[in-house]
Amino acid sequence: MNFHLSGGEMKYGMTGKILRVDLSNQAHSVEEPDEKFYRTYFGGSCLACYYLLQKRLAGINPLDPENLLIFASSPLVGSGIPGANRFSVASLSPLTGYYGEAEAGGWWSPELKKAGYDAILVEGRAEKPVFLWINDEAVQIRDATHIWGKVTGDTQEIIRNETGESRARVASIGPGGENMVRYACVVNNLRHTNGRSGMGAVMGSKNLKAIAVRGKQKIAFKNNAALKKIIKWYNDNFMDHPIERVLHDGGTIGWDVTELDEAGILPTRNFHSGSFEDADKICGETFHDKYFVKADSCHGCPIRCKRVARSTGEYQVDQTYGGPEYETAAAFGSLCGISNLEAICKAHELCNSYTLDTISAGSSIAFAMECFENKLLSIQDTDGLELNFGNHEAMIRLIHKIAKREGIGDLLAEGTLRAAQKIGQGADL
């Protein structure tokens, strides 16, 4: 029995359709696996692994056209169950050369499902920049040369205006992905990132600027009454769990910075310490006092752990890009010896606009700071930047340089391992 019904009708959480896009030939096709396939490979990273293994990509450069890029949802996406809104982006990683994947929440994955597809397989490389426009199963490969070079906020606005769909969900790359920074990420709705392993760089290598989706089809589930009962129970009871209460009240930044510092395991000065003397200046309480605008959420989730930041001070933080998670506060804060929380919020904004993974970007900058302090990098090597721990101005300038691959940024865009190997002098020890 096929897992899909005729006429595009959905069946029990999955559409039964997988979109395959060949950018080299500007073509697309639809695969319709049977129920056994879905029960075996299910969705998300498992489905992605299947296609990557089937492709037999061993030995190829992850930035070559032959690499396969996969966006995959799962059966509970769109159900309204909290936490079941996520999707995987997977490929060979430009950072490691091996399997890489990154997950994101938000609203993009439910929209893809409502547009009629469970996953998208992207192969080849377009001759010039393009974006995919998927509107209720209709697929177009559109020109994106006029968007290439723009940050994600401008990209999303232009695509929504061109398609005439103000509610289109856009997953895109900025200059970081276009310049194939090896830890470039994919950002949807400006605030939700597939952060790890360089999936944005793979998009850039394919000249794929964005995938915009709009769907109005209903996602069918077998027992809607039971589904609603589960969701209601969760909504009524989730605050009884101590961690979920903390995440609801303060987000990840409201818990982890202080807790990890007290435990002696807060990454500090490129991991030379587990405790930061200024942890109270970058913690959730300080964030909420100074820069918090509101709590944000993903599809169907009442926890609302996403924080939105704004500042009109020195760094002019734009709230449309959301706000920092714990990982961002640690990577650009304690790991770099930086206690300026406004600069950390700005770093978050820049990374979401440029599409840089905040963890890898912050780690690369912290590594460069240690190299500078140990005289493995000179002031000439760093384009005149005093890369001492704690220098938030230099940190902000480095983010721009990394995304654009300018000067020292070109080296750090390769990731810490490759940078250390090039610097030598024991930097890779």
**pLDDT by residue (tens digit) across 29-52?**
999 999 899 999 989 999 999 999
Q: What is the DSSP letter of 182?
A: T
Whether the predicted pLDDT of 108 surpasses 50 = yes
Best CA proximity match to 111, nearest among 15, 3, 239: 15
Q: Mean pLDDT throughout 280-303?
A: 93
The string of pLDDT tens digits covering residues 328-351 is 999 999 999 999 999 999 999 999
Tokens of 346: 């700005």
List the beta bridge partners of residue 356. Answer: 184
Distance CA 83, CA 164 (A): 30
Q: Mean pLDDT throughout 109-116?
A: 96
Best CA proximity match to 282, nearest among 151, 402, 395: 395
Q: Which residue has the tokens 């060949």?
A: 22
Query: How confident is the model at residue 7, as a pLDDT?
Result: 39
Whether the predicted pLDDT of 154 surpasses 80 = yes
Tokens of 257: 């910075």
Whether the predicted pLDDT of 379 surpasses 80 = yes
Whether the predicted pLDDT of 5 surpasses 50 = no
Q: Which of 9-23, 92-106, 138-152, 200-214 has the lowest mean pLDDT?
A: 9-23
Rounded percentage of the chain residues whose pLDDT exceeds 70: 97
Distance CA 226, CA 302 (A): 19
User: 8: pLDDT confidence band, cut at 50, 70 and 90?
Assistant: very low
Burial environment of residue 390 by CB neighbours within 10 A (0 to 12, 13 to 18, 19 or more): middle
Identity of the amino acid at 304:
R
423 C-beta neighbours (distance < 10 Å), count: 17
Cβ neighbours for 224, distance < 8 A, ≥ 6 positions apart: none
Best CA proximity match to 305, nearest among 85, 65, 32: 85
Q: Which of 4-18, 142-156, 360-374 has the lowest mean pLDDT?
A: 4-18
Taking a C-beta distance cutoff of 8 angstroms, is the pair 70, 167 a contact?
Answer: no
Query: How confident is the model at residue 245, as a pLDDT?
Result: 87
Taking a C-beta distance cutoff of 8 angstroms, is the pair 100, 88 a contact?
Answer: no
DSSP output for 131-169: EEEEETTEEEEEE-TTTTT--HHHHHHHHHHHHT-TT-E
Cβ neighbours for 184, distance < 8 A, ≥ 6 positions apart: 173, 176, 177, 198, 199, 200, 201, 203, 204, 355, 356, 357
Q: Which carries the bigger pLDDT value, residue 83 or residue 210?
A: 210
- CB environment 6-24: b (16+ within 10 A), e (fewer): eeeebbebbbbbbbbbbbe
302 C-beta neighbours (distance < 10 Å), count: 14
Q: Which of 3-12, 38-47, 188-197 has the lowest mean pLDDT?
A: 3-12
Query: How confident is the model at residue 416, as a pLDDT?
Result: 97
- CB environment 239-251: b (16+ within 10 A), e (fewer): eeeeebebbbbbb
Q: Mean pLDDT throughout 80-86?
A: 89
Mean pLDDT of the residues in the chain: 94
Whether the predicted pLDDT of 53 surpasses 80 = yes
Q: Which long-range contacts (CB under 8 A, 24 or more apart) does 220-229 make?
A: 220/9, 220/10, 220/11, 220/12, 220/13, 221/12, 221/13, 221/79, 222/12, 227/79, 227/80, 227/81
Tokens of 273: 């310490």
Tokens of 389: 């721990």
Distance CA 375, CA 367 (A): 12
Distance CA 173, CA 108 (A): 14
The CA-atom distances, in angstroms, between 279 and each of 251, 347, 373, 394 are 16, 17, 22, 20
Whether the predicted pLDDT of 1 surpasses 80 = no
Would strands 119-123 and 18-22 be described as parallel, antiparallel, or unpaired? parallel
Q: Mean pLDDT throughout 1-25?
A: 71
Q: Which of 30-44, 167-181, 376-390, 404-418 has the lowest mean pLDDT?
A: 30-44
Taking a C-beta distance cutoff of 8 angstroms, is the pair 253, 325 a contact?
Answer: yes
Query: How confident is the model at residue 286, as a pLDDT?
Result: 95
